[in-house]
A = this chain, B = another copy of it.
Amino acid sequence: MRFGLALSVQHPPEDAQDLRFREHVEQVALARAVGFDSVWASQHYLSSPFTYFQPIPTLARIAAEADGMALGTGCLLLPLHHPVEVAEQIATLDVISGGRVIFGVGLGYRDVENEAFGQDPRERVGRLVEGLEVIERLWSGEPVTYAGRHFQLREVRISMPPLQRPRPPVWLAANSDAGVRRAARLGDAWLMNPHATLPTLERQLALFRETRRDAGKPPAGEVPMTKECYVAPDAAAALAEARPFLQSKYRAYQRWEQDKALPPGEGFALPFEELARDRFIIGDPRMVGDEIARYRERLGVTTITLRLQWPGLEQAKVLRSIRLLGEQVLPRFR
């Protein structure tokens, strides 16, 4: 089982953002030293009430400290972008990182982003589907002609294909059942979101596998999952320390209407204990390891990417989680 570090690229706007970025660099250096396999950065724009570091420059800078680690976009909001732009940016990042990019993409769900970029939300799926097709064809390095509804190309060739041949892995993030089926048809893997509970993930993973089977595709080689996680020597202290930051983060998600993108029956308007159950991984190293083992057993997870920070959480606590995971949890899974 492989472990990823999901950078929390959002911070309170009153923080010194350059200091926060240097802390991310320090987090990655420590994560690498204690055995993490990958680093992840996600994408949002106009991200009030918190700040946001864009993932491509973030991962490119981080690459200097992440030798040997995979770099994942988790996820890039593909419908907002032109596929020529994304194909070239990710190819450059793949070359910079020595061929270690995992290309994670998603639909996005925030009206403010679609509206600002002048995109009709009803065209998101079409732009995602066409965008992925164009990117994969450009990444072949051959001239591409494409007559889509959203994108048209005439005999153009990417400046430089990615270093990975035939291409970097494509992992699709999805919350809804329709998104999970799309991930099954179009991606190399479904990037399981951190918002759904274990029973929902179990049900959707069955749907993912069934859809691949029906489409005549082989089982996905990777079963990746992102989770919120906090580790402390004492379990009660872990819960008490993580709680205010996760509560504030999930209140912001509600204002962002992230919960509207979830399947029926899921939502964030819950008491913290209920929100945390089957959803967050919080505790002492033994409990956290048990919980990760449960996800591996129930879902067959191959890569678990842990977000260990939320806006405002201090660096010392993040580094402690990384260290405790590296020293006391990762060895159980190797």
Contacts and interface: CB of A to CB of B under 8 A. Distances in A.
Interface of A: 13, 17-18, 21, 44-48, 50-54, 56-61, 63-65, 80-82, 84-85, 88-89, 91-93, 95-96, 98-99, 112, 115-118, 151-154, 156-160, 163
Contacts of A81: 85
A41 to B, nearest CB: 10
A158 B116 CA distance: 11
B57 A156 contact: no
Contacts of A80: 85
Contacts of A47: 159-160
B52 A21 contact: no
A70 to B, nearest CB: 15
A149 to B, nearest CB: 12
Contacts of A88: 45, 52, 54
Contacts of A157: 46, 48
Given A159-B46, A163-B18, A58 B56 contact: no
Number of copies: 2
Nearest to A51: B160
B152 A92 contact: no
A17 B95 contact: yes
A117 to B, nearest CB: 6
A56 B51 CA distance: 19
B17 A153 contact: no
* In the complex, the 9 A-B pairs of residues with the closest C-beta atoms, listed nearest first: A64-B64, A57-B60, A52-B159, A60-B60, A51-B160, A47-B159, A54-B92, A60-B61, A46-B156
A150 to B, nearest CB: 9
Nearest to A91: B54
Nearest to A43: B88
Nearest to A113: B84
30 contacts: A13-B160, A17-B95, A17-B160, A17-B163, A18-B96, A18-B163, A21-B96, A45-B85, A45-B88, A46-B84, A46-B157, A47-B159, A51-B159, A52-B159, A53-B92, A54-B88, A54-B89, A54-B91, A54-B92, A56-B57, A56-B60, A57-B57, A57-B89, A58-B92, A60-B60, A82-B118, A84-B116, A84-B117, A116-B156, A118-B151
